[in-house]
Amino acid sequence: MADNAGTLYLVSTPIGNLEDVTRRALRVLSEADLVACEDTRHTRKLLDHYGIRTKTISYHEHNERERAVELAARLAAGQTVALVSDAGTPGVSDPGYRLVRAAIERGAGVVPVPGATAFVAALTASGLPTDEFFFGGFLPARSMARRSRLSQVRSLAATLVFYEAPHRIGDALRDAREILGEREAAVARELTKLHEEIARGRLTELIEKFSGEHAARGEMVVVIDRTVIADAAADQASAQTESIAALVAAYERDEGLDQRAALKRAARRLGLSRDEAYRRLVAERARDRSD
């Protein structure tokens, strides 16, 4: 950090319920020289609710390039700037990246002030695996681009998480069902708000629920399981015959994983518990030695 340079605070704000803000966030917002926000009117409601009088300035996708230069100059001059988005964590599917880069280049401090993030809230409440996940931000608006994006992540051994607009949710779910296959999924909307809802089920069931012109309102998070369930019988048969030793060796060779990580990946692919996968690995290697 350069001498006399200021600090950029990345302050998470509530995604709906105004109680979901930390004491630290309120202190930083009240002590900062300036609060940079997507919509000054929206952020002012939060600041007024907590009696914070700090001056605000707009920082959004349409003025981000120019405003980042201006704010970085303030930071270089020793000022403290708090960056917020309309909801959640700045920089997560919201403006912020350019300002963070500019602050770093000018030797200013960059300090995260953690808090609410919609995709994390949806993921943890979805009932789907959270040990590995892929967050893809907003899916493309056009069907061809959206289907291409889904094809790129189809083979990921991770729970998939996306943001989606309510008027596209039905089409997005239909594309997901066709490209990814039948999977368990969840659609979370209006998180932390009065009409919060987390709908869980197979993609086919969610398509039915969220079809129609007035079927969905509010900001949405789509969470999709990593496992295709339509071919469960075929997968189970494959798991009984596919060599786990060969899979482990392939993951070690092609992805540079150690044996433990490779075994975990192979177990997940074959739908086996860790203990069962290890027993099969030992048995296969013993059989190979005897042959």
Q: What string of H, E and C letters represents the secondary structure of the chain? A: CCCCCCEEEEECECCCCCCCCCHHHHHHHHHCCEEEECCHHHHHHHHHHCCCCCCEEECCCCCHHHHHHHHHHHHHCCCEEEECCCCECCCCCCCCHHHHHHHHHCCCEEEEECCCCHHHHHHHHCCCCCCCEEEEEECCCCHHHHHHHHHHHCCCCCEEEEEECHHHHHHHHHHHHHHHCCCEEEEEECCCCCCCEEEEEEHHHHHHHCCCCCCCCCCEEEEECCCCCCCHHHHHHHHHHCCHHHHHHHHHHHHCCCHHHHHHHHHHHHCCCHHHHHHHHHHHHHHHHHC
Per-residue model confidence (pLDDT) at position 230 = 52
What tokens appear for 134 in the block? 């892929």
Distances (CA, A) of 160 to 38, 54, 107, 231, 282: 27, 38, 36, 19, 32
Q: Note the pLDDT of residue 164.
A: 96
Residue 221: the pLDDT is 97
Q: What is the structure's pLDDT at 279?
A: 86
pTM: 0.76
Look at residue 121 in the predicted model and tell me its pLDDT: 97
| pLDDT block averages, 10 residues each, the chain of length 291 | 85 96 98 96 96 97 93 96 96 92 95 97 97 96 94 95 94 94 96 95 92 74 90 47 80 84 80 80 82 63
Return the pLDDT at 277. Answer: 84
